[in-house]
Amino acid sequence: MLRQLTLDLGTPPPSTFDNFFAGANAELVTRLRELDNALAAGPLADRTFYVWGETGSGRTHLLQALVHEAPPGHARFAGPQSSLAAFSFDPRVALYAIDDCDALSAAQQIAVFNLFNEVRAHPTSALVAAGNAPPIGMTVREDLRTRLGWGLVFHLAPLPDEAKAAVLKHAARERGIMLADDVPAYLLTHFRRDMPSLMGLLDALDRFSLEQKRAVTLPLLRTMLASPGANERRGAAAGSTGGPAASGASGACAALADSTATSSAASAATLAGPDTGASPADPASSHAAFSASSKIGPHG
């Protein structure tokens, strides 16, 4: 039986390429990191990209990083919650990041189709789009689906559990915490295993340890989970997903399994939030970015 745990989380750091655990995503990360400079250096063959993967795989984080690390006014993020004006072409903008193409409205799909055409016609601009399926499986307008497959297509796959444990330890070290092996192992067997949920729980545990003035250990984690008012106080990153600046975790729910057997089944579930339809200030996907990818290559 699952019970809901709410986590009261602070503001996460902005999404950057440096805090994205690249793994097999190395080529994609390198291309996106260097995209702005490559455009300025001269004609660029590959100027449209499509990145797809399940919620929590890291696609929103990469779009956030692209915008965050570009010079002010040089890049623009847009998604389902954006106005139509956000999808319009501006010669002063070099990089366009379009998130959650699968969730765009009919009017937004037309606007993105037109934006693709404008970008193709202007050699000093580039567009990176993201969605939850490969172009051939997208439930969008046929002309937009074709445009999504025009350039390079990359697939983001979830990290294996060993890599997730390593990411949790690395994130803990950045917070000044030395995490024993049993803490990531416990989280991975008792909770949802998508990175937004796991990072949300780590943030909550960090805050709880400061409140209790105790080191982060497995006994402290169990104390936090059993503490009075846990259901009302906290909100995990499981239900939210990301928008540009890192990942918003507050207010979402993470499912806690009462036993290892039930938690194993629960952890197989796919994260249910938008990785997806968030605005640049929405925090839940910065931690979604820890994922591995395989390049599918030019499509279309």
Separation between Cα atoms, residue 76 and residue 210, nearest integer Å: 37
Local confidence band at 12 (pLDDT 50, 70, 90 cut-offs): low
pLDDT at 182: 92
Residue 276, pLDDT > 80, answer: no
Query: What residue spans of the chain are helical by DSSP H?
Result: 26-41, 59-68, 106-121, 142-148, 161-174, 182-190, 195-212, 218-226, 230-233, 260-267
Local confidence band at 95 (pLDDT 50, 70, 90 cut-offs): very high
Task: Write the burial class of residue 191 (CB in 10 Å: 0-12 exposed, 13-18 middle, 19+ buried).
Answer: buried
Give me the percent of the chain exceeding a pLDDT of 90.
Answer: 44
Q: What is the pTM of this model?
A: 0.68
Q: 60 near 278, Cβ under 8 Å?
A: yes
Separation between Cα atoms, residue 247 and residue 214, nearest integer Å: 26
Per-residue pLDDT tens digits for 203-234: 889 888 999 999 899 999 999 888 765 554 44
Per-residue pLDDT tens digits for 19-78: 888 888 889 999 999 999 999 898 888 999 999 998 878 899 999 999 999 999 999 999
End-to-end alpha carbon distance in the chain: 46
Domains and CATH numbers, the chain: 2-12+160-283 (no CATH), 23-158+292-298 (3.40.50.300)
Give me the percent of the chain exceeding a pLDDT of 70.
Answer: 71
CA atoms within 13 A on the CB side of 146: 7
Residue 278, pLDDT > 80, answer: no
> Angle formed by the axes of helices 182-190 and 195-212, to 10°?
130
Residue 256, pLDDT > 80, answer: no
Q: 191 near 204, Cβ under 8 Å?
A: no
Most confident of 35-39, 93-97, 218-222, 291-295: 93-97
Local confidence band at 237 (pLDDT 50, 70, 90 cut-offs): very low
Separation between Cα atoms, residue 149 and residue 151, nearest integer Å: 6
Per-residue pLDDT tens digits for 131-177: 999 999 999 999 999 999 989 999 987 778 888 898 899 888 888 88
Local confidence band at 120 (pLDDT 50, 70, 90 cut-offs): very high
Q: What share of the chain is helix, strand, coil (3-state, %, to 5)?
A: 40, 15, 40
